[in-house]
Chains A and B, each alone.
Chain A
């Protein structure tokens, strides 16, 4: 049984301009100990998906099953045990820590809210955790603004892990950091996964970060998963033209001239194109693409794509 299984999840928001379909029918599974990467452009619904899985945003429909329990049906009061087991690391380490609280308070509060341990036990756990993420004990009495971005992200990681979760959703945890710091934080996340036997849903728009991190990759476009494959398969043989375009967009010094692999902008999630939602930007789109939305189909073992022309490099002749 997978640790997390999401089935046909929809999260829609009502806006003045219509219904915004941020997550529009996503299904995915995460096994225990697995790192799943979720990649896509800004505004494609990655973060909303992460927040919906954690019930920080209520889904419109669909199921989120964690360890056999449907967390969508849990009332807010009954979410407590789930909160202990599924946590989040945020993108912006500047706004994700309360500026008025010391690091010690930030790390102790989750333990006291969940009634874990007595005073001494909490103190011991907080101290162990702060050292584990590579910060000195003296940082406990300090405030978030006294730290650099990378140090704050360490605090964010410590806070996410202090309750001992099984699943951690990392929402672009390194995109706000300098390149040199990114590697440190990624290494720390890998160490943490090994030490605490974590499963990650790793959200990023940066393919090179995902490549380093994920066992399996989901590519998301306008609220839908368009391709799902083991990391190596995806890099070697992308089936969906959008995935291929994303991979080609990574600068490659061996190619002298960089192609402009993808034109146009992502459509608005309030006005999703009919048929395949990628077809207005797709280099190989045909008439069927504008009419029928392709389903996510298995094309090779463990490799799914939602494309009528999956794997083809050029536009097939019109029938």
Chain B
């Protein structure tokens, strides 16, 4: 019997995905922008050590009018540039924390439903449907209105309205993956349910979860902005949404007060969506090969 074994050197899956991602100019631009926003958010206390809610200038300074306040000041004489820098912190913290919490809940519930099937699945699918049939933004408003409007409660509220998306996705992935022979083999080898769910199946379900997560960060930032715009945000923290909300009455005269934070939101959300698209291409080998 011949045992001549030659192993063709092939790039590893994750390495190939990373290279596909790095070759995508849109993804690199978007990542660059997000790195910049994150750096600004981290450096906020260094750039503007003062409270961004304090009145420091003459009201309604236009951008460029006073070099000390490059983006001007609002109706109460607050520095718009400082608000923008500090606001990025809230957007990113809430976006990432809400995504992390929502994805964790969604993965646990979706994996349980998809893996076990049967009655457990039926019950959990009903639960998901209850959440999905309720208008999510109205539910978020109710949740935040019941709790105190603080960063923590807003984060939990956004997570509670986003987890069903992830749960459905993870459930579908698990339902198809649990039929694979390697899962049957794992059961035959006597592996426990937890090991099969988290070590055998979950790593194979990760690509779509990662893609959706980046889009969820974007939608969480939008939801936080909308809440703050309506005055339901944390009153002690400045955020991009609250800046737009506070200055909407003077929109016709001093439009830059809403345009500047608005552009910040649009660019950040756009960057996150572009990264989601690029990840989708990079992690889906068939699709990226066709391009």
Question: Which A residues contact B (CB, under 8 angstroms)?
Answer: 51, 54, 56, 79-80, 83-84, 87-88, 90-92, 95-101, 109-110, 113-114, 134-136, 138-139, 142-143, 145-148, 151, 156, 159, 163, 184, 187-188, 191
Does B181 make an interface contact (CB < 8 A)?
Answer: yes
A83 to B189: give the CA distance in the assembly, Å.
6
CB < 8 Å: which of B10, B184, B203 contacts A145?
B10
Proximity bits, B1-25, A CB within 8 Å = 1, else 0: 1110101111011000000000000
Structural contact, A95 and B180, CB atoms closer than 8 A? yes
Structural contact, B13 and A151, CB atoms closer than 8 A? no
Structural contact, A146 and B10, CB atoms closer than 8 A? yes
Structural contact, B1 and A187, CB atoms closer than 8 A? yes
Structural contact, B195 and A83, CB atoms closer than 8 A? no
Give chain B residues whose Cβ lies under 8 Å from the Cβ of A187.
1
Does B150 make an interface contact (CB < 8 A)?
Answer: no
Given contacts A99-B13, A109-B191, A143-B12, 13 further A-B contacts (CB under 8 A): A56-B187, A56-B188, A91-B181, A92-B181, A96-B184, A97-B182, A113-B192, A113-B195, A134-B1, A134-B3, A136-B5, A139-B7, A151-B7
A113 to B195: give the CA distance in the assembly, Å.
9
A79 to B199: give the CA distance in the assembly, Å.
21
A133 to B185: give the CA distance in the assembly, Å.
18
Structural contact, B189 and A110, CB atoms closer than 8 A? yes
Give chain B residues whose Cβ lies under 8 Å from the Cβ of A101.
203
A247 to B42: give the CA distance in the assembly, Å.
76
A97 to B180: give the CA distance in the assembly, Å.
9
CB < 8 Å: which of B13, B181, B203 contacts A96?
B181
Does B66 make an interface contact (CB < 8 A)?
Answer: no
Does B190 make an interface contact (CB < 8 A)?
Answer: yes
Closest to A84 in B: B190
Closest to A144 in B: B182
Structural contact, A184 and B2, CB atoms closer than 8 A? yes
Give chain A residues whose Cβ lies under 8 Å from the Cβ of B190.
79-80, 83-84, 110, 113-114
Closest to B179 in A: A95
Task: Identify 16 residue pairs between A and B in the complex whose beta-carbon atoms are under 8 Å apart, listed by A's number.
Answer: A56-B188, A88-B185, A91-B181, A96-B181, A97-B182, A98-B204, A99-B204, A109-B199, A138-B7, A143-B12, A146-B7, A146-B10, A147-B7, A148-B8, A184-B2, A184-B3
Does B200 make an interface contact (CB < 8 A)?
Answer: yes
A139 to B3: give the CA distance in the assembly, Å.
14
Proximity bits, B21-39, A CB within 8 Å = 1, else 0: 0000000000000000000
Structural contact, A88 and B3, CB atoms closer than 8 A? no
Give chain B residues whose Cβ lies under 8 Å from the Cβ of A87.
188-189
A97 to B204: give the CA distance in the assembly, Å.
12
CB distance from B256 to the nearest CB of A (A): 50
Query: Which B residues from 169 to 191 make CB contacts under 8 A with A?
Result: 180-182, 184-191
Give chain A residues whose Cβ lies under 8 Å from the Cβ of B3.
134, 184
CB distance from B271 to the nearest CB of A (A): 29
CB distance from A258 to the nearest CB of B (A): 33
CB < 8 Å: which of B1, B8, B184, B187 contacts A90?
B184
Give chain B residues whose Cβ lies under 8 Å from the Cβ of A79.
190
